[in-house]
Structure 1
């Protein structure tokens, strides 16, 4: 018996919108994301373009019922794959906050740290789209 398709809920539409926005930015202004790519990874610009295309593909897949399940799994995997970039961003802002020690630098660092746990609801939404 085939699995039923997860309904297109507001949170799934929101995740698709987030992917569309971020994916487009990856392709149009890749330099924004270069500091987020861990230094240990080669071909950083190509990885930025690849992740942008992956985000756009996930967004399209989430919005269509025939591909929502697969796109949900792909979206969860993508969110896990980019987590090191989010950690790198926090580390970068942490170093900057130590050097500058201004309220703005500390606030920016706090924002990047606070953003990390927000990945969990995004992953949960992706898994819900996958039918889990």
Structure 2
């Protein structure tokens, strides 16, 4: 699960760096310095992905990626509500509905993979 999530965040980070204009169109107007924020978040997604699979910074990466997923949720809502077309992404509620509903799962997934939480599958912490 950890490697799959890291791959998704790496792909998203690369998209932020390679196609910032497309993502700028879905960034809410209240975000200051939006082009710079998009670039920085792309780098953070990639760094978080690496940290998630390496171990040493895994715990912090899981928390940071979960918070990041929460913070970009307004852009996902803007994308859906305003019907903004982005190349290679469907502009229909068949995409937007599940995407918006899945965001809390991404937050949980980051926390679970980083061993911040163990719900609903309890890990055996004492080795017995």
Instruction: Output the TM-score relative to the length of structure 2.
Output: 0.79
Which aligned runs of 4 or more in structure 1 are off by greater than 6 angstroms?
A: none
Deviation at 1:70, TM superposition (A): 1.1
User: In terms of Rg, which structure is larger?
Assistant: 1
Deviation at 1:59, TM superposition (A): 0.4
Cα RMSD (Å) of the superposition?
Answer: 1.8
Q: Unpaired segments of 5 or more residues in structure 2? A: 118-128
Q: Which residue of 1 aligns with 2:68?
A: 78
Q: Which has the higher contact order (CA 8 A, sep 6+)?
A: 1
**Residues 51-105 of structure 1: CA distance to partner in whole angstroms, max 9, x if unpaired?**
1011011101101111111111111111111111111111111x88xxxxxxxx9
Q: How many Å separate the matches in 2 of 1:33 and 1:26?
A: 7
After TM superposition, list the pairs within 5 Å mapping 1:1-132 onto structure 2. 11-93=1-83, 108-131=92-115, 132=117
More helix by proportion, 1 or 2?
1
Q: How many Å separate the matches in 1 of 2:43 and 2:53?
A: 16
Instruction: Output the TM-score relative to the length of structure 1.
Output: 0.77
Deviation at 1:112, TM superposition (A): 1.1
Q: Secondary structure at the match of 1:36?
A: coil
